[in-house]
Structure 1
């Protein structure tokens, strides 16, 4: 059973870009999507405030372009960021992360362009604005790793291009600036990787533990079912029968118990062999299972060729109708019985019926004994019939079954 349990547990898949398999991704989004959207929304709003505050330093570094920077910030960057903050909770997980990536690329493009375009003496210090954006995107917003990697590569490429094409900058300073951009991008994306990997691995471990617990619970339930099921017929076994009757006999509601025995079953086995006998038992069990599938109707294998049929809230008339239907339905199966010497050529059953009447102080064992006594009377009267316990007047006479 342990081998089966281990084989059924599959750890959620995670690729090199820290992407879950589709099923795990859907489960993660269902569990954590709202929290992720809330985190992005609050962080974006904080980023907008920080971005606006940094316009003060931009005024000191680029006084000649300050007006256009403020206009782009107020009428492009801020509206786009607010739209993203609003939309992250309204779209799919994939589109949500793409929207945030796009917003960060737009927010980083402005200081990077001013770094390249401006001729102001301190314009090279705009590199700090760009690097703050990179740190914010990768470590505060915590872009999903594949998007953080994409964002960092694009910004690093654009920054290297801007540094290389900027006029009037000392070559040594250009090299230093490229190293600064590369260091910040590498450091932040590596930090993002470590954070994202821990998040993904923790979820994978928790899912694996949950799946193992579910598998163990399923295995336990299957074991419990198997422990109460007859292996040959698939019907409930004696253990299930005892538990169910104990429950039924603990209240005042009426019940009928029928003991069913296959007529001349030993002769059937002697004539056709035990494999045919087993198949006969399975066919009869299938007939009982299809007829006794309600919560208040059930059938169990009592042992050998004997079955117990039990009906809750049943009294005399209903029990008679049902017992007669059982006898006739098994005869109608038409299972050939060549070993009989009584002129009957098919398998039949005899049924003994005992009742637990409303509020009657009778035990389970007493009713089973009464059903057994009625069964012997049915056999004594010629088999292929039912007898009610109330109809038994003679002492029980043992007969060969």
Structure 2
């Protein structure tokens, strides 16, 4: 069994996106049907109604050309083919694309059986002129309904075989006319099949151009999105970087909600690097970032690494009490990491952090620079207080030293 990558080679050896039978690759076909199914159904419905009008109009010519079996043909057209065609239109709305096209193929062959039957059973000397109707029916199926090319091949082969069998077996058709009629039917079938192939191939090519253009646009958009994400993400820790932090601050401070900001610093991190080495320092930064990410959760809380061993937590809609509670939890979780820090000279011997906390007022005019300055000032207060604690920017705010918490 041939695989799609082999079949999808176009005439010039490049990847065409469709095979020799003008079938799209499965994923492309699904995309095509999603875009064109409704249009296809509307076209088929219009063509079936139009075709039935023309189809039944041929009852008038059959009355003259094959009067001996006229009533048989009339009943088959009006009582069988016409209601079945309307039933087919209803069924087509409820089946998938594969069965839609198969049902169309069966419907076209079914309609063709009536003129074949009339030609086969009539002994009128004029019956052979019914082949004109047959040719028009082939034209209708291949170029107006536009059966899919693979189905057009089946349809053309079946109806041509039936027609030639009748031409060669009907004694009412003069022997001298058999070969001319045979040649006419073959040429008509080949002509219609070629027209169908031309139309179907152009459909495939047009869609593939649009598909590839859309795919290039999606690829460019995804690349741009990835580049944007990379530009906003810290490569070492995987959390937002300073640029992302600046954007968040600009966006959130521009609103009317109070904004809380924590400036976080890993205590004595230079000594950690000097003692443990830079690879260990990178691991420490990643673990601190992971802990911050696990604690500072929620749509209104964002963390960022803003440089070196410095991190920030931004909180929208913050309150003083909620921000202090979060700062307390963060310090406790970092202490819970129990990462050794043998380079410290203060006897703590584990990784800790200091936090400076500030909260804006939703009621008062606010400047982002003020918030950052207040948080930085509070961070320095925490460092002067011995680290491993947080400080709030308000002078009257409570002082909490978690080193004294059991």
Which residue of structure 2 lines up, in the alignment, with residue 310 of structure 1? 314
The answer to whether structure 1 residue 111 and structure 2 residue 115 are counterparts is: yes
Write the mapping of 1:24-63 to structure 2, written as runs, cut at 5 A: 24-63=28-67
CA contact (8 A) 2:295 2:330 kept: no
Q: Cα offset for 1:119? A: 1.9
SS for the counterpart of 2:237 is coil
Moved more, 146-155 or 34-43: 34-43
How far apart, CA to CA, are the structure 1 residues paired with 2:290 and 2:100? 55
Write the mapping of 1:102-181 to structure 2, written as runs, cut at 5 A: 102-167=106-171, 169-181=173-185
Which residue of structure 2 lines up, in the alignment, with residue 390 of structure 1? 394
How far apart, CA to CA, are the structure 1 residues paired with 2:357 and 2:20? 69
Higher RCO (Cα < 8 Å, 6 or more apart): 1
Which residue of structure 1 lines up, in the alignment, with residue 284 of structure 2? 280
The unaligned stretches of length 5 or more in structure 1 are 1-10, 394-401
2:234 to 227, 230, 236: 230
Superposed CA deviations along residues 118-143 of structure 1, whole A, max 9, x for unmatched, are: 22111221211211111111112111
Which residue of structure 2 lines up, in the alignment, with residue 206 of structure 1? 210
TM-score (norm 1): 0.90
Runs of 4+ aligned residues of structure 1 deviating over 6 Å after TM superposition are none
Write the mapping of 1:292-311 to structure 2, written as runs, cut at 5 A: 292-311=296-315
CA contact (8 A) 2:272 2:342 kept: yes
Q: Cα offset for 1:392? A: 8.6
Counterparts in 2 of 1:33 and 1:187: CA distance versus 1, 3 Å:
same
TM-score (norm 2): 0.89
SS for the counterpart of 2:394 is helix
How far apart, CA to CA, are the structure 2 residues paired with 1:174 and 1:241? 86
Q: Cα offset for 1:276? A: 0.5
Which residue of structure 2 lines up, in the alignment, with residue 98 of structure 1? 102
1:15 to 8, 19, 22: 19
CA contact (8 A) 2:295 2:329 kept: no
How far apart, CA to CA, are the structure 1 residues paired with 2:183 and 2:145? 24
1:355 to 359, 368, 371: 359
The unaligned stretches of length 5 or more in structure 2 are 1-14, 398-406
Which residue of structure 2 lines up, in the alignment, with residue 399 of structure 1? none
CA contact (8 A) 1:12 1:24 kept: no
How far apart, CA to CA, are the structure 1 residues paired with 2:24 and 2:270? 61
Superposed CA deviations along residues 271-292 of structure 1, whole A, max 9, x for unmatched, are: 1110110010011001111222
SS for the counterpart of 2:140 is helix
Superposed CA deviations along residues 57-88 of structure 1, whole A, max 9, x for unmatched, are: 11111122212221222222222222223322
Counterparts in 2 of 1:209 and 1:169: CA distance versus 1, 3 Å:
same
Q: Cα offset for 1:181? A: 0.6
CA contact (8 A) 1:40 1:88 kept: no
The answer to whether structure 1 residue 381 and structure 2 residue 370 are counterparts is: no
How far apart, CA to CA, are the structure 1 residues paired with 2:262 and 2:130? 92
The answer to whether structure 1 residue 66 and structure 2 residue 70 are counterparts is: yes
Q: Cα offset for 1:355? A: 2.5
How far apart, CA to CA, are the structure 2 residues paired with 1:67 and 1:355? 93
SS for the counterpart of 1:224 is helix
How far apart, CA to CA, are the structure 1 residues paired with 2:235 and 2:148? 53
The answer to whether structure 1 residue 290 and structure 2 residue 302 are counterparts is: no
How far apart, CA to CA, are the structure 1 residues paired with 2:46 and 2:366? 70
CA contact (8 A) 1:115 1:124 kept: yes
CA RMSD after TM alignment? 2.0
Moved more, 244-253 or 48-57: 244-253
Moved more, 351-360 or 42-51: 351-360
CA contact (8 A) 1:259 1:307 kept: yes
SS for the counterpart of 1:182 is helix
1:341 to 340, 345, 348: 345
CA contact (8 A) 1:41 1:86 kept: no
How far apart, CA to CA, are the structure 2 residues paired with 1:23 and 1:334? 52
Superposed CA deviations along residues 201-232 of structure 1, whole A, max 9, x for unmatched, are: 21222122122212211221221121111111
Which residue of structure 2 lines up, in the alignment, with residue 221 of structure 1? 225
Aligned pair count? 383
